[in-house]
Structure 1
């Protein structure tokens, strides 16, 4: 008899990409997850912990409710095996740490703390589990992060100060935005041709979407198309918790590789991710600490970004 698999979060960014890589017997999201209560699948992939980092950090109670809901859903679905999709942001330090590094909970922001507490709850309440921590991810249905900004260049929101600075030289840009309830300027829905026109304008403006990233920041970019094969390996090798990280790459390196030009911005704080995995050597070999070296990741990123730009 074949094993029954379930995926919670199938309409989300991670879940929708997992659906492109594998077939599941049961699919659910936050709107219909109750339909899986009592199903008791052999394997449950839980990718249903939603939440944007900045929003979680400013809306603590809202984010805590998401975590409590996840715990309740997992208990009531009652899987034989759980694969929890988590994040590398559960670390208080993001430099030279592995799965064996102790995590200082007191130093975590709300987003990381809540997801770490869900990991601990899993360890204490689920007998057969695997935790997969993801870094800066990209793939189909990408909606945010530096790679999204690299593709689009157009800021979705602008503060009044930023808008005032931009329209000094580009007065037409104000017609593409409207004030929202937070008194910021929000991009209005645009036809494909109009969006490309606006993107071309922002390509010439220093204060585009890339201005929110320090050019010396480094990230560990992972294509979601690869995640399922690693989940299969984690289950096969009985790895409890894994940092699914690639070799760090600076934002300026990615920009130069894609656009063959320089990118310099030090107006925002720099952040440098450099997590490692103690399992990379046994999984990919050759004394590796990452699941993908810089050259391979840059090549794949370049291909992905060019494909996405063509869709605009």
Structure 2
């Protein structure tokens, strides 16, 4: 039976497409074609990841989510994997899979992706919902790491931010391990790192902005660290992330020469 990848033209989907073979690929332009199909497995990274746009146009963003839901409601699959986001948590500090995201007051980006999570959890009896933190890897085209690499608006970067960064080169194999664990919901949790530390270690020449409060603060945790061979409340330690980040940045700088 065939496999499908939804969202293959995005950053997450594109990363998966480079590391795995899929029988069918879909995005917003052809998602209607998935209706009526039966797959052995489906990976869905089809929710747009442009937070500012979703928050600016909540109804338009929700319409896109509903179009996706309407399409996948008409498929059958032995297992469904949904790639979701830390941003379903309004206050992503000290939270784990045991914490149900509070929807009251949640920004549109997180609220609309929570709608998708709840649909998948009820529609597909065999499913894996995977919440991701901040990302880096080949094909990156936005976020703080990208801005530092491209010297883009670095004066607007808050050095006091405490963020979480996940190396996308791991993702295909990590999905396999999460599916094998049979846990229906897993937060991929990595130890937070101060933005100032990343800038000082890898971009000492960057004239980043001044510290401001409140600063961004992300600390999504997990109950299932052992699923990805982690320890405590995290799958990856700060030192592991910095090592991965250093290799990625070195490769990007070398490629830009």
TM superposition score category, shorter chain reference: over 0.9
Aligned equivalent of 1:104: 102
Aligned equivalent of 2:33: 35
1:152·1:309 contact (CA, 8 Å) conserved in 2?
Answer: no
Measured in 1, the distance between the counterparts of 2:156 and 2:130 equals 28
Matches within 5 A, 1:1-312: 3-154=1-152, 209-260=153-204, 265-267=210-212, 269-285=214-230, 287-312=231-256
Deviation digits for residues 141-200 of structure 1 (CA, Å, limit 9, x no counterpart): 11110000010013xxxxxxxxxxxxxxxxxxxxxxxxxxxxxxxxxxxxxxxxxxxxxx
The structural deviation recorded for 1:47 is 0.6
Gaps of 5+ in 1: 155-208
Deviation digits for residues 207-238 of structure 1 (CA, Å, limit 9, x no counterpart): xx122221010111011111111111111110
Measured in 2, the distance between the counterparts of 1:49 and 1:103 equals 18
TM-score, normalised to structure 2, is 0.93
The structural deviation recorded for 1:38 is 1.9
Measured in 1, the distance between the counterparts of 2:139 and 2:210 equals 27
The structural deviation recorded for 1:49 is 0.7
Gaps of 5+ in 2: none
Secondary structure at the aligned position of 2:74 is classed as helix
TM-score, normalised to structure 1, is 0.77
| Matched residues, number | 255
Q: Specify the structure having the higher radius of gyration (Cα).
A: 1
The structural deviation recorded for 1:269 is 4.4
2:160·2:212 contact (CA, 8 Å) conserved in 1?
Answer: no
